Homo-oligomer: A and B are copies of this chain.
Amino acid sequence: MNADEFRRLGHQLVDWVAEYRERIEDRPVMSPVRPGEIRSRFPASPPADGGHLAEALALLEQDVLRGITHWNHPAFFAYFPSNTAYASVLADILASGLGVQGMSWQTSPAATEIEEVVMDWLRQMVGLSSAWSGVIHDTASTATLCALLCAREKASGFSQQDAGLQAGAPPLVVYASEQGHSSIEKAALLAGFGRSNLRLIATDAEHALDLLQLERAIETDRTAGRRPAAIVAAIGTTGTTAIDPLAGIAALAEQHDAWLHVDAAMAGTAMVLPECRWMWAGVERADSVVFNPHKWMGVGFDFSAYYIRDPEHLVRVMSTNPSYLRTAQDGAVKNFRDWHIQLGRRFRAIKLWFLLLDIGVEGLRARIRRDLENARWLKEQVDGTAGWERVAPVPLQTVCFRHVPLALADDESALAAHNLEIARRINEGGKAYLTPSTLKGRQIIRASIGSETTERRHVEMLWTALEEAARN
């Protein structure tokens, strides 16, 4: 393909994306296809000859789009907001077009230095002190794994440089709330702690980690000769956005010299609002923090912000230094390849740069406040309407509830079927998409608000749909 053909097709695809976004409300939010339906539209083997790109564009429109669940739809209330703002799409055209590798400073100095700039801007925006150093990771799952690897190596006196974890010594224990994200369990198992050294601590009535239970678990482990290595505090759990008591957890972490990692994957974005920062009071006593601008903030996936207090420790855990990667500037600059698992690095920093120049910090704050108000409105409808039960506080943008008709009130399995059916009707109806989930054994429905395009009318529409689905 030559440059002129690229120009022509590039304009066409930019227009396609714009039109897709403009008309997104006409489409069912959740893809209605059956398993195998999209795959069956493709030939079994790749084309021998080129020149078929026009066919891809036709197939995209006719078939592929039916297989898309529209995460940027204003009635997307499932999982978590995953906004890719227009400014971020534009930034990715540049990132792909430049096609640089940011593994070392030398391999593209601008990639490293713009990352330093925007990660420092972001640090200021969420109220973290200048004691933190930031790096872009792909996902919170990987960042949390890095945090637990840092914890493992700190607690074991750098076992990786010697005999590894087989050496014996006291077993190392990881603590997190039973409502913590699955990536914590995954990271603990991958890092080799073992399931029997992972403590998922019970939560209180508001689904936040119970500090007393944590303290008891640590005491039990210490008495048995085990070593508390890491505590993961969730600021905004995935299920209900519960806020773990960070200051109390930090005190325990300090007392037992355990690594404190803060998982604020979705909620971190809310910390751009000064009125939300009470939620992570104590964060300055943590060792690492992760949150995902690729969720609520509008930076397109993937872009996780990982902040660490002691980057030298991180680099010691992560770095290798072969001759083909050495450059004359090493020592004077940051080589971000040593700040995470991957070696290669995409030029992700442009996405946050473009987003902030386009909307500004105040524009972002206004949008986040709008979403919090929409969640409060939905919470009020649930609280004020007979037959609906709210099952968790709403500190952020997620409302968890269920419908409890009088006739089923004592029959938990009938209630579960009833609420699953409500969610199924909403989701298959195509007008909105939300997540059925379970919370401490009860079937619930989660509405996660925060798509960039979601206005009050979409939340009102969701509530009307819920009321209708519950009645029938």
Q: Which of A16, A97, A142, A325 has the most CB of B within 10 A?
A: A97
| Chain B nearest CB, measured from A228 CB (Å) | 14
| Contact mask for chain A residues 9-41; partner B; CB cutoff 8 A; 1 contact, 0 none | 111011111111110000000110101111100
- Which of B31, B120, B161, B192 is within 8 Å of A165, CB to CB? B192
Contact A320 B185 (CB under 8 A): yes
Q: Does A132 contact B (CB under 8 A)?
A: no
Q: Does A133 contact B (CB under 8 A)?
A: no
| Chain B nearest CB, measured from A412 CB (Å) | 15
- Which of B17, B116, B357 is within 8 Å of A50, CB to CB? B357
Contact A360 B35 (CB under 8 A): no
| Chain B nearest CB, measured from A434 CB (Å) | 11
Which of the candidate stretches A103-111, A212-220, A283-291 sits at the interface with the other chain? Answer: A103-111
- Which of B48, B82, B160, B346 is within 8 Å of A302, CB to CB? B346
Contact B141 A341 (CB under 8 A): yes
Question: In whole angstroms, what is the CA distance A338 to B117 when docked?
Answer: 34
Which of the candidate stretches A51-59, A252-260, A388-396 sits at the interface with the other chain? Answer: A51-59
Question: In whole angstroms, what is the CA distance A65 to B347 when docked?
Answer: 13
| Contact mask for chain A residues 55-83; partner B; CB cutoff 8 A; 1 contact, 0 none | 11000100011111111100000010011
Q: Does A278 contact B (CB under 8 A)?
A: no
Contact B361 A46 (CB under 8 A): yes
Contact A329 B35 (CB under 8 A): yes
Which residues does chain B contribute within 8 Å of A357, judged by CB atoms?
A: 47, 50, 52-53, 55-56
Which residues does chain B contribute within 8 Å of A114, judged by CB atoms?
A: 38-39, 42, 64
Contact B343 A139 (CB under 8 A): yes
Question: In whole angstroms, what is the CA distance A472 to B414 when docked?
Answer: 87
Taking CB atoms and an 8 Å cut-off, the chain A residues in 72-124 that contact chain B are 72, 79, 82-90, 92-101, 105-111, 113-114, 116-118, 120-122, 124
23 contacts between A and B (CB under 8 A): A1-B85, A1-B86, A10-B93, A31-B108, A36-B113, A38-B109, A42-B117, A46-B121, A46-B360, A47-B360, A52-B360, A53-B87, A53-B90, A67-B110, A159-B192, A160-B194, A163-B197, A164-B172, A165-B165, A166-B171, A166-B172, A192-B192, A301-B346
